Amino acid sequence: MPSMTEPKLISGNSNKPLATSIARRMSMHRGVNVGLVDARVERFNDQEIFVEVFENVRGEDMFIIQSTSNPANDNLMELLIMTDALRRSSAARITAVIPYFGYARQDRRAKARTPISAKLVANLLTEAGVERVLTLDLHAAQIQGFFDIPVDNLYASPIFALDIEHHFRGRLGDLMIVSPDVGGVARARELAKRINAPLAIVDKRREKAGEVAGMTVIGNVEGKTCIIVDDICDTAGTLCKAAEVLMEAGAAEVHSYITHGVMSGPAVDRVEKSVMKSLVITDSIEPTENVRNAKNIRIVPTAPMFAQAILNIWSGTSVSSLFETETLSPIYEGMYSRS
């Protein structure tokens, strides 16, 4: 161990249940009670954010758990102000644990006179005092290069592979992994390789942002149980349309595994009325009541993986080991049996 200090967790308001679950899992791994640092993150009447930390954090290894999900701007400002508070309180190191990294969809200048917001957010975090970032399934891998500090990008695919092997036991030979667009092929191929399944692609054409002009299935999905894999489900329009196109192409049934369930606007209603048998998302974004009550939406936990990743960062051991099924399986042993 590099020091005698214990890892300390602090949470903003974006996803308190996940932060609490991570602390509980770390308590199990460590054999000692790990709780969230006592602090308040509140608003003045004009909605300015106020942070006060009630515990001594001098010389401590601090981990701020905060997704920059809806409301993205408020949650991002909470993260920045909490970082500033810890830095001014002489924390030894500040790691931002961002299960869902907002603004990641603006990672390049696709048109003239547009921003690269992901780079701006990276600059803000670094200037505020963040010394390391731990996140899950960045929308674009190159965002890691926007930082001049270490970035650990975890992947949901090992968890999804365990979940698929558990829930589709006996039917693995009938599965077909599907990428909903050409840009997501690498992510889908990674999962397909883990469960030894073939890969298909839904090629979509857009006339303008947010509007799909047409879709074509590349690959033979007839009679297959198709599993669509993607990183973000926002309004679910494209996802539900892709499921319809797959069914029209002869698929037996369609399921979806999406890392970040943004689920804005009519998303839940669309998913419930769609031809999809199930939509599986992680808890990187705190699910709304509508999401929790939806009959065909299921949530898989990320707390076991994040807890182990935090412990590995604190102890100076490998984080990339969590990419391997052999490492992750024991962590999720209580949930998924591979026998």
Which among 8, 204, 224, 241 is annotated as catalytic? 204
DSSP state letters, 47-78:
--EEEEE-S--TT-EEEEE----SSHHHHHHH
Kindly give the pairing relationship between strand 278-282 and strand 211-218: unpaired
How far apart are the C-alpha atoms of 160 and 163, rounded to whole Å? Answer: 5
How far apart are the C-alpha atoms of 324 and 22, rounded to whole Å? Answer: 20
Where are the alpha helices (H) located in the chain, listed in sequence order?
Answer: 16-30, 72-88, 117-128, 157-167, 185-195, 237-248, 267-273, 289-293, 303-315, 325-331
Verify whether residue 295 is a known catalytic residue: no
Kindly give the pairing relationship between strand 225-233 and strand 211-218: unpaired
| 20 and 288 Cβ atoms separated by less than 8 Å | no
Alpha carbon 10 to its chain's center: 19
| 68 and 75 Cβ atoms separated by less than 8 Å | yes
Number of H helices, E strands in the chain: 10, 14
Kindly give the pairing relationship between strand 49-53 and strand 39-43: antiparallel
Which amino acid does the sequence have at 23? A
Residue 289, judged by CB atoms within 10 A of its CB (0-12, 13-18, 19+), counts as exposed
How far apart are the C-alpha atoms of 272 and 133, rounded to whole Å? Answer: 35
Q: Which residues are catalytic?
A: 204
